[in-house]
Structure 1
Amino acid sequence: MSTVAQPDLAVLSSPWTLGPLHLSNRVVMGSMHTGLEVRDDGGAAMAAFYRERAAGGVACIVTGGIAVSDEARGGPDFAVFGADGADERFRVAVDAVHDEGGTVLAQLFHAGRYALVQGVTDRHGRPQRAVAPSALPWAAARGVVPEELTGDEVRSTIEDFAAAARSARDIGFDGVEIMASEGYLVNQFQSPLTNHREDEWGGTPERRRRFAVEVVRAVRAAVPDLAVTIRLSGADLMPGSTTDDEVDALVRDLLPLGLDGVSVGIGWHESRTPTVQASVPHGAWVSYAERIARVVRTSDHPDVRVIASNRMTDLRDGETVLRDGLVDAVALARPFLADPDIVARSLGGRFDLVNTCIGCNQACLDRSIVGAPVSCLVNPRAARELAFPARPTRRALRVDVVGGGPAGLAAAVDAARRGHTVTLWEADASLGGQFALAAAIPGKEDYAATVRAAVAELADRGATVHLGRRAAVADLAGSDAVLLALGVVPRPLDVPGADLPHVVSYEQALREGVPAGTVAIVGGGGIGVDTAAFLVESPDEVVRAAEFAERWDVDVARDVLGDVPQRLPAADRVTRPGPEVTVLRRAGKIGQGIGITSRWVAVGRLRDAGVHLVAGVRAYLRIEPGTLWILDEAGVERAVPADHVVVCAGQERAPGAEETGPDGLVANLRAAGVPVAVVGGARDASGVDAVRATSEALEAVRRLAP
């Protein structure tokens, strides 16, 4: 989102009220499912996670979804009040937030037809059933058709929401948020796509809205003394679903029922419009919250709070949103995984220290969908605070980190934060490694912010950074702990003609650009897809925001778009028509290896641009000036236009971390008695993964320098 320069965060840092709650700033930590809710540790891990964010300055936290019944769970890693010790775990977490002066709302959740129930049992050992307004499955349901709720079951489900609210009050929560967004049960009742009933709960827009109305009515009656909010989708982004007018009508129906706030989300999980991926413009969805805010302000209940959310990562953007007084607060979720101190750092004017969410989804959303432990690529401590506490070390050690890519930076920052004496060695002239390259990709500019934050924090903590210098054994001999994070280098292509001057690695292409003309990209994994995007998409974020609005027919906020006709190119590089680019892959799908929530968007953008996507290549035969010859899927020799060839055929370990040999740092350091660990691509370049690299770096530096 384009940010108007602000002298401070005057509005965002101002106090406000949310029903009975008096809050010190207008930042809400939005709901995130982490799986910590069901961990059998008495609530310690969940408490550590929320405590750190409350201590970091956020005034109000919303928990991950808490199922209102067994059949409301989205999967086996969803908690239910009253089951399996959940209440005590949440009590410990709530106390931790209160200890830090924060407030916390319990999100009351029912997955409806989104429940993944295959092989899942309830607390009594019975198979969990999926239920919905109508017996209509969704694409990811793995063949499970939900059961249609009977009229009595609908009323019982409404009481489940009220009972869960009472449990939240008894546990000590400050309020509740009703999850009625993103295609879950309450949202399913509203939509003609998922509600085909003809009884009192469906058949007309008014009757489809009734379930949400009765849930809010029951919850408010159950907890008259708590804050009660609802999270709605400003738009479902599903053809044929609830219209904007119907959403606005629902808001008008709900306002007289005693709501304290409306949090505005966007889209359904099955929508084919991107909503949370890195390519979605920052702040793109603010206009939907503003629309609902106008409904509220012109109603008989204008003081109900409206909270905007989705794709905001910088609190200066939040200040811009709040400045005209239409919206009351902003909710951020994944940015609190990336940096639990985002509020304190921003309010203190240290935006350079904020470890920005890069929108990759790799360790958060992609994992939560399959029930895996949630964390964060750029902050591998996220949701692991109990295992890796932030407390200072008892004995300061000399820690040397060799390699200034994402893994090396993660290790160096963690060691420096805990009081160790850190020296970082980087052979390149600048830090960042693969992240510095990624930042050149349209839509991935935020990758540079992780590097910026690490550089700023290392400087603040007195670390020594050597640039343009390859560390030798003599440099490291006196160290107490050495971590080798040398990263990867592009794998060369072993094909006749690969030494021609018009054949370059992806690293050279991203650093120097590619001259005009046709381009063949050898390798269609994540790096090949990114390189194609680099070649065909505008480097100007505002231009891309306008293209996004047009492509997906959505109302991107005016502050994001700016004055598009007056924009000039943001970078001096060639942007070519998509048909001039061909991406080739041997085995697997184009984009294989990109996360499940992002691959379809990244590959779809190339298709929209007209890029040729060729999978199933049997062999790369030879490269000639202007042509790459391949053996295609049918075994036919084929000429691919290629004034330039960019090689994205994988990576191999950067030299220097060999176990043996005269240049092997590992062998020589071990011979000298220096504790050493190798992490990330330097340890194993096969299927190199930045999530694995940063996690390994954290684990290794804690092991070597506790």
Structure 2
Amino acid sequence: MTHSKYPILFSPLDLGFTTIKNRALMGSMHTGLEELENGFERMAAYFAERARGGVGLIITGGISPNLEGGAGAKLSNDDEVAEHRLVTEAVHGADPEVKICMQILHMGPLARNENPVAPSAVRSRIASHTPRELDAAGIEKQISDIVNCAVCAQKAGYDGVEVIGSAGYLLSTFLVEKTNLRTDEWGGSYENRMRFPLEVMRRIREAVGPNFILIFRIAAMDMLQGGMSWEEIVLLARRMEEIGVNIISTHFTWHESAVPTIATMVPRAAFTQVTGRLKKELTIPLITSNRINMPDVAEAVLARGDADIVSMARPMLADADLVKKAFEGREDEINTCIACNQACLDHTFNGMEVSCLVNPRACHETKLNYEPTTAAKKIAVVGAGPAGLAYAEVAARRGHQVTLFDAASEIGGQFNLAKRIPGKEEFYETIRYFNKMIEKRKIDLRLNKKATADMLADGGFDKVVVATGISPRMPDIEGIDHPKAVSYIDVIKGLKPVGRKVAIMGAGGIGFDVAEKITHAGKSSALDVDIFAKEWGIDFENHPRGGVTGVEPIVARADREVTLLQRKTTPVGRGLGKTTGWTHRITLARRGVKMINGVEYLKIDDQGLHLRINDQYEILDVDTVIICAGQLPLRDLFDQLVELGIEADLVGGAYEAMELDAKRAINQASYLAAAV
């Protein structure tokens, strides 16, 4: 029966020997569980929950075929096969129709170990070591090990494997001239450079037989100057089809590329048109990916003919039931991925366990559960920012009677500031989700209501949770009350005018957001693929080698001179997220924002902002000084409750307000509410 709203998304895909029940794929993400002592039990719970959530196909995080190919989990022997069987049995037990494929990831020159290998001794700018050039015997070993890994995956009960041939990992480094300097049969002409990935896939197909899903992940646009040409990509994909690959999965970058592809500033489904172009050249199905976070976006991609399968990786961290909710018409209940990367990719690249800012249960399904309460309490939550909303939702879900107070006229707290920053429009989705949860969980929401200690004392509450957030810290310098000095909150909300010459005191996340807002001109590039492409030098139309034009990106900017200042002596922006911080630094630099560290603030007066930089006295001639100098926890209410002898918990910014941290706030609130 055809689904009325998403007919293509919920149509089966026939591969001949097997059928994928729908076109929704949970794409590969490394979780950090792979290397833990009880990691496979936790992975089993994590993947099984997504299988129950309605997805048609799952691809695991990358598993190395040998020690030199990675830094953690590998699959090469029977003991490791037994561990992986925990995962496949859990998934097939949750839903026998769901297919799960294991990604084989040989990191090549990016391997986090002392002995990385590559076709040539060319060090990546993001790698720790120069790789060792493989000799003929070394190449044969790597091929054999990858094939053995695929055979082990088949023994472990996987329905197939995906081999990653993109991103700057081993297979892709054979394909590109800048990383393959060889002059033997594995280098030189493109025919020779293709040989390694083709030989890998040909031998895997030979070893596993015809009835095993074989996916090759191709760099359909690698975003590298001197990367692969469109003709080379098409030729490689066609050869893969000829040797028996069932599905081509398109990937859109190397990790060292200076083009964002997955940050929240990237428009939804920005790159699917590239997959659509490749689809016209092949007869086997194609997977597309990147910033497809809601079912209507997925259906539109499929309807355009851009792909046969849509990969939604991080969106299924954010909501394990995304596909099920879409099928049942409950889209407004989807906890949407906002592409912040703070708890997923930033954790991965810092060697930490992965989770999700909007869903702390992700990858923690065996540790954090919201069991129905056996003793319902009447709970007051004061503050409807991220921490208060998370606490109220979890407590009410478990059966507690929750009243949620906020002095503002809308829920969201600091998220209401974030959503106003160009490139952060996805925060509207989180506020939409919590509004729906307030209705669904029957939370008594009282807006425009400043809760007092006496009112709470008289309210008959069994428990009070204080999530009152923060107040901006005003530094103790002369002239801080001068008309030129304004708070970041007033600037973001548009309550105070901003002059043409501006100094921003503080270069944390908020300072960068403010700089983004006041230097931005025109439509947000996060909402327009053409503007985004121009800002990052991408040529979707002509697809030059690597997909990037090589010309200076075109960045619209407001007519302002902006200086971003910080007291720390470390480089400005060093503390931003690992996988997104560089994008903000580049964007502001292209808009002419000056960034200065090691600053001592002296005073603000009619002349401007007085500073000491490297023992030199300076005056910045500015019209406006925007104060982004940190936050202080708002704890007055908590202190008053304690004085009255009322039990109260502090969560979120009210608990700790060093840097605004929604990830920590939601995590802390969710664990507390799970235990009450």
TM range (shorter): over 0.9
The one-letter code matched in structure 2 to 1:55 is R
Q: Summarize the Cα distance change of 1:693–1:42 in structure 2 as closer, same or farther, 3 Å threshold.
A: closer
Number of corresponding residues: 653
Query: Does structure 1 residue 158 correspond to structure 2 residue 143?
Result: yes
Alignment map for 1:103-182 (pairs within 5 Å): 103-118=99-114, 129-142=115-128, 144-182=129-167
Aligned mates of 1:147, 1:398 — CA distance in 2 = 64
Q: 475, 495, 498: which one pairs with 2:477?
A: 495
**Partner of 1:554 in structure 2?**
538
**Partner of 1:242 in structure 2?**
228
Aligned mates of 2:484, 2:654 — CA distance in 1 = 29
Aligned mates of 1:164, 1:446 — CA distance in 2 = 39
Query: Does structure 1 residue 88 correspond to structure 2 residue 56?
Result: no
Query: Is the contact made by 1:27 and 1:331 (CA closer than 8 Å) also made in structure 2?
Result: yes
**Partner of 1:260 in structure 2?**
246
Q: Unmatched 5+ residue regions in structure 1?
A: 1-5, 119-128, 297-301, 559-574
Q: 257, 265, 279: which one pairs with 1:279?
A: 265
Q: 50, 54, 59: which one pairs with 1:57?
A: 54
**Partner of 1:37 in structure 2?**
34
Q: 192, 212, 218: which one pairs with 1:207?
A: 192
Q: Which range is displaced more, 583-592 or 360-369?
A: 583-592
Q: Which range is displaced more, 34-43 or 101-110?
A: 34-43
**Partner of 2:488 in structure 1?**
506
Post-superposition CA distance 1:391-420 (Å, at most 9, x none)? 433443333322111111122222222232
Query: Does structure 1 residue 528 correspond to structure 2 residue 508?
Result: no
Q: Which range is displaced more, 34-43 or 210-219?
A: 34-43
Query: Does structure 1 residue 665 correspond to structure 2 residue 649?
Result: no
Q: Summarize the Cα distance change of 1:538–1:49 in structure 2 as closer, same or farther, 3 Å threshold.
A: farther
Alignment map for 1:607-622 (pairs within 5 Å): 607-622=589-604
Post-superposition CA distance 1:638-687 (Å, at most 9, x none)? 332322222111111124354x4xxx23453xx24x3x321222112123
Aligned mates of 2:649, 2:212 — CA distance in 1 = 51
Aligned mates of 2:266, 2:49 — CA distance in 1 = 28
Post-superposition CA distance 1:572-606 (Å, at most 9, x none)? xxx96254222222213322431111111101111
Aligned mates of 2:241, 2:317 — CA distance in 1 = 32
Identity, in percent, stands at: 38
Query: Does structure 1 residue 483 correspond to structure 2 residue 465?
Result: yes
Q: Which range is displaced more, 465-474 or 404-413?
A: 465-474
- Give the secondary structure class of the aligned counterpart of 1:217: helix
The one-letter code matched in structure 2 to 1:612 is K
Aligned mates of 1:185, 1:272 — CA distance in 2 = 20
CA drift of 1:540 comes to 2.4
CA drift of 1:636 comes to 3.2
Aligned mates of 1:400, 1:99 — CA distance in 2 = 41
**Partner of 2:651 in structure 1?**
679
**Partner of 1:577 in structure 2?**
558
- Give the secondary structure class of the aligned counterpart of 1:97: helix
Alignment map for 1:414-433 (pairs within 5 Å): 414-433=394-413
CA drift of 1:19 comes to 5.0
Post-superposition CA distance 1:98-136 (Å, at most 9, x none)? 122222111111010101115xxxxxxxxxx21111112
Query: Does structure 1 residue 364 correspond to structure 2 residue 358?
Result: no
* Length-normalised TM-score, structure 2: 0.92
Query: Is the contact made by 1:284 and 1:556 (CA closer than 8 Å) also made in structure 2?
Result: no
Aligned mates of 1:152, 1:457 — CA distance in 2 = 59
Alignment map for 1:298-317 (pairs within 5 Å): 302=283, 304-317=284-297
Q: Summarize the Cα distance change of 1:94–1:416 in structure 2 as closer, same or farther, 3 Å threshold.
A: farther
CA drift of 1:495 comes to 2.8
Aligned mates of 2:628, 2:609 — CA distance in 1 = 16
Query: Is the contact made by 2:33 and 2:39 (CA closer than 8 Å) also made in structure 1?
Result: no
CA drift of 1:458 comes to 2.0
Post-superposition CA distance 1:540-580 (Å, at most 9, x none)? 2357543321132214599xxxxxxxxxxxxxxxx962542
**Partner of 1:570 in structure 2?**
none
CA drift of 1:537 comes to 1.6
* Length-normalised TM-score, structure 1: 0.88
Query: Is the contact made by 2:180 and 2:193 (CA closer than 8 Å) also made in structure 1?
Result: yes
Aligned mates of 1:538, 1:346 — CA distance in 2 = 35
Q: Unmatched 5+ residue regions in structure 2?
A: 543-555
The one-letter code matched in structure 2 to 1:442 is P
**Partner of 1:192 in structure 2?**
177
Query: Is the contact made by 2:519 and 2:560 (CA closer than 8 Å) also made in structure 1?
Result: no
Aligned mates of 2:109, 2:402 — CA distance in 1 = 51
Query: Is the contact made by 1:108 and 1:177 (CA closer than 8 Å) also made in structure 2?
Result: yes
Aligned mates of 2:107, 2:320 — CA distance in 1 = 28
- Give the secondary structure class of the aligned counterpart of 2:599: coil
Instruction: Provide runs of 4+ in structure 1 moved above 6 Å.
Output: none
Q: Summarize the Cα distance change of 1:598–1:19 in structure 2 as closer, same or farther, 3 Å threshold.
A: farther
CA drift of 1:81 comes to 4.1
Aligned mates of 2:270, 2:39 — CA distance in 1 = 39
The one-letter code matched in structure 2 to 1:523 is G
Aligned mates of 2:16, 2:120 — CA distance in 1 = 35
Please give the root-mean-square deviation of Cα atoms over the aligned residues, in Å.
2.2
CA drift of 1:390 comes to 4.3
- Give the secondary structure class of the aligned counterpart of 2:280: helix
The one-letter code matched in structure 2 to 1:255 is E
Q: Which range is displaced more, 152-161 or 6-15?
A: 6-15
Query: Is the contact made by 1:19 and 1:227 (CA closer than 8 Å) also made in structure 2?
Result: no
